[in-house]
Structure formats: structure tokens, C-alpha cells
Structure 1
Amino acid sequence: MPLAKRGYQVLAVDIGAEMLSVARRNLASYPNVELLHADVGVWRRPAADFDLIVSATAFHWLDPANRLARVARLLRPAGLLALIHTVHIAGPSDAFFSEAQRCYERWDPDTPPDLRLLRLDQLPDVGQYDLEAAPGFTDVELRRFPVDYRYDADQYLDLVATFSNHRALSPINREGLFARLRRRIEAESERGRATAACPQPPDGGGRRGRRGTRPADRVAAPRWLLLLL
């Protein structure tokens, strides 16, 4: 929405028809936004004509063997790639997380035993997608923005219900997990809220600059944006 409001030409691609239906309603008043129902993993576009490609918590779905090469071919020389990734990190108190882990270990068979959160200063100095070593990309930056989110039980369960690993659970396991999580959150002493600490995106970004990089003031107003939803 903020990109559309700035008047950029935006093409948003998603494999999910429901997600695009929501986006279509929210963006109906923006003629500068085009929505495309397609699988980005096999989608083809003949020209490299994007100034900026943004993927928000979705890049991991693409094939690691060719995903960076694929987006590099879609970018103009000196175009930008921004990869957004959120990570749950240890906050001031890990009491809720520790209690929630017992719920996950009971109801989600893929939960690693004794999982513990890292602090912000324990996270690796490179991004998740090894963009630093990818051919064709230069000027890679990794930025982290710590932020705390506070949720009541309904808000938290609405959030995790959108996560792919939760959606993949069997109905009985998902219902059991959500019931236990609700009880844990409502038992919290401070107004029944859970806090999640995240080093907010972007996870990393790289500029494709085979013909040199553009000045920062020109990068600030890209003409064509591609969003991988």
C-alpha cells in the first residue's frame, strides 16, 4: 500500500488466489498496481525491466538452486533486490516462549526439542539467503530493526494461523495447539498479552550493478517495482 500511494508502477505476483483477492480489494483505487496470479518459481518475463524487486517473508519458497539468478535476470542493471525476513528473538522475558514450546512439542511433531531463541547480538552477520556470495549482486547490506509486538490471545492466534507450518498441521493438532496457546496467553499476568521480539526486516538487500551503481537519490524513486508475495 505505501508503494502504491507513492505512485510507483507495481506488479505484485502471488500463487495464492485468496491473497490476491484481498490485495485486489485493498488496492482497487490504485491503477498503477497490477496483480498477477502466478507461480514465481516458473513465471517467465522476457525483459529485465524492474528497478526494484521486494520479497517479504516469501523468498524461502523459491528454489535455492536458481532463485537469485532468476531475480537477477528480472532486474535492470543497478536495480535493487530487497529480501525481508522476520526472526523471533529472545526478548526481555522468555517465559511465554518457553511455556509455548511445550505446547508445540506436544502438538507439532516437527518442533525441534529444547528450541531456544537467540538474542539479537547472537544472530549471524550474514543474511539468510547468502546474497553476499551471489554472482551479479554488489553492495549487499544487512539491516536489522528490533521491535516488540504485543498481542492478546485472539490477535496472536490470528497471526500464527497464517503461518505455513501451522496451516500444515492436522485439524486436531492445530485446534489442540491453539487451545493450549490461548490458555497460556490468557494466563499471562500483564493483561493477558504475549510479546514477540523480532529484528524487523529487511534481512538483506543487494544491488545488481554490472554497469555501476546509481546515486542514492535516484534509487529512491524506482519506476517499476516487482513484489513477490
Structure 2
Amino acid sequence: MKDLEQRKNWYSEVANAYNKVRPRYPQELICRAVELAQLPKDAIILEVGCGPGTATTSFAQLGFSMVCLEPSQEACQLARQNCAPYPNVEIRNTTFEEWELETERFHAVLSATAFHWVTPEIGYPKAAAALQDNGSLILLWNMTLQPQYEVYQVLNEVYQTLAPSLGRYEDRATQEQSLRRFGQNVINSGQFKDLVSEQLACEVTYSIDDYLRLLSTYSPYIALEPQKRNSLFEGLREALERNCSRNIQVSYLSAFHIAQKI
């Protein structure tokens, strides 16, 4: 767990890349989450860690009012641009920990691949306190995008030379196990009940440039020393250009956890 100051700015340098290449959440999954959370048409949603608005716009276009918290100033600026068509969406530049609690105001607390950044001892009780009676916690997840295994094997040769710790492949069973752990954390908090989970298998195709931009938005790559990261990306690019077509197909699980305030 990084300290609060590190977490505030962790994605700032890659905010534009994050906005461009991170996959959105399937609208089918979002509509299903809205249905299960029984959100009224005039619901007010608190979003924790909205980033550049990756999930925000999908809920905003359904007509909900939203208060969205994002610690990175760069991501906030992008979120405000992306949400400009939605006057009922407010973007605030703050962490959830530092946000001044508005007790029992919200029908749902939403977080899209971000709630694991919040200190658990603060996050779950504060989320519950912000919710109205019978309000729901909605956690969306896009798991790490994985290339086809044959492509991974080509890339792994580069990883083993330049960054062995990053040469990991997540199959579907591994991602499902991670999702179960995230869901169990919700129940273990003692603040929520009636956990419901659903998932979709997704695929997306990237150019080599955009695939490398995608990797640049993941924490293990952000944490690398810049020269080492540049060398790794050069090696990955060479391997991809030598062994693959111009496009790379990747797969991942997109999922949600929904639980009701106790």
C-alpha cells in the first residue's frame, strides 16, 4: 500500500495514455449492475477514483447525478472534458480518504478498478456511511489485459532478460481467483451484505503502439526506473514487430461486485 501522496499522483504522467487505451466497461455489464442495485432514475452516485471518466460517462448517459472523486489533477482535467456533456456530473480533485463525508446522501458508491487503492480500514466504513439505507456498493473491474499465449511466449523472452518480475501470464482461472478475493474483501469488511458478482469475457484489438501505451498505464511498469522501462518497451516493440502482425488481440475479464449496506 503506497502512502497517500504517492497514490494521488501515481497515474498522473500516464493520464492521457490511460484515457486513450484503457478499455471501457461493457454497457451490458453496467446496465445489469444498475438493475441489480435497483437504482432509481434520479439516483445520486458517488464515484471513488474516477480517473479520466472511464466508467463515469457510461453511468452519466443513463441520467444519474454523480459526484466523482479523483486525486490526480491531470486525470481530473480529462474527466471534466469527457463529462462536459453531462451537467449533473461533478468532478472533485481529492482522495476518498480526504473527502469530507456527506452522510447517507448517495444511492450507490461506485468504484471502477480503483477501490483497491483506498485504505480498507477507511474505505469500506466511509462508503457505508455515505450510502442511504439499502444503498449499494458497486465495484467494477477490468482485469489486466492479456495477449494470446503464443504472443506472450514471444514477449516473455524479453521480460526474462530485462524485467523478469513482469513476465507473468494471467489465465482466466487466475483472474477469476483475484475477483473472488476482491469480493471476499467486501464481505470481510463487515459493512455490506448480499454480495452479487457477474463477469464477461472480453476481447479487444490494439496496434503495437497502443498496446505499449496500455502497458505503460499498469502499475508494475510505472514503478520501473525510467531507463529500464524504456529499454523494456524497445525490446517488446522489436519482438512484436518481428513476430506479430500490426495488431495484437488481447483478452480479459470485466466484472462487477454489488453489495448492500448493512
TM range (shorter): 0.7 to 0.9
Tell me which of 99, 105, 117 is aligned to 2:170: 117
Change in 2 beyond 3 A, CA 1:154/1:89: closer
**1:29 CA drift (Å):** 2.8
| Count of residues paired in the alignment | 204
Where do 4+ consecutive residues of structure 1 move more than 6 Å? Answer: none
Q: Which runs of 5+ in 2 are unaligned?
A: 1-56
Which segments of 5 or more consecutive residues in structure 1 lack a partner in the other structure?
211-229
Q: Which residue of 2 aligns with 1:51?
A: 107
C-alpha separation in 2, matches of 1:28 and 1:89: 29
Query: Equivalents in 2 of 1:50, 1:133: separation in Å?
Result: 22
5 Å-filtered alignment, 1:1-229, equals 1-88=57-144, 93-108=148-163, 111=165, 115-120=168-173, 123-124=176-177, 126-129=180-183, 130-189=185-244, 191-202=245-256, 204-208=257-261, 210=262
Residue in structure 1 matched with residue 15 of structure 2 by the alignment:
none
Letter in 1 for 2:139: L
Percent sequence identity over aligned pairs? 24
Shift of 1:121: 8.1
Tell me by how many angstroms 1:127 deviates: 3.9
Check the 8 A contact 1:153/1:192 in 2, yes or no.
Answer: yes
How far is the alpha carbon of 1:36 from its aligned partner? 0.3
Task: Tell me the secondary structure at the aligned position of residue 121 of structure 2.
Answer: coil
Higher RCO (C-alpha 8 Å, min separation 6): 1
Q: CA deviation at 1:90?
A: 6.8
Alignment partners' CA distance in 2, 1:39 and 1:75:
18
Taking the aligned partners of 1:65 and 1:135, their CA distance within structure 2 comes to: 11
- Note if contact 2:65-2:89 (Cα within 8 Å) is conserved in structure 1: yes
Asked if 1 retains the 8 angstrom alpha-carbon contact of 2:197 and 2:255, the reply is: no
State the alpha-carbon separation in 1 of the partners of residues 175 and 100 from structure 2: 39
- For residue 187 of structure 1, what is the amino acid of its counterpart? R
TM-score (norm 2): 0.69
Q: Residues 41 and 100 of structure 1: is their aligned pair in 2 closer, same or farther, counting only changes over 3 Å?
A: farther
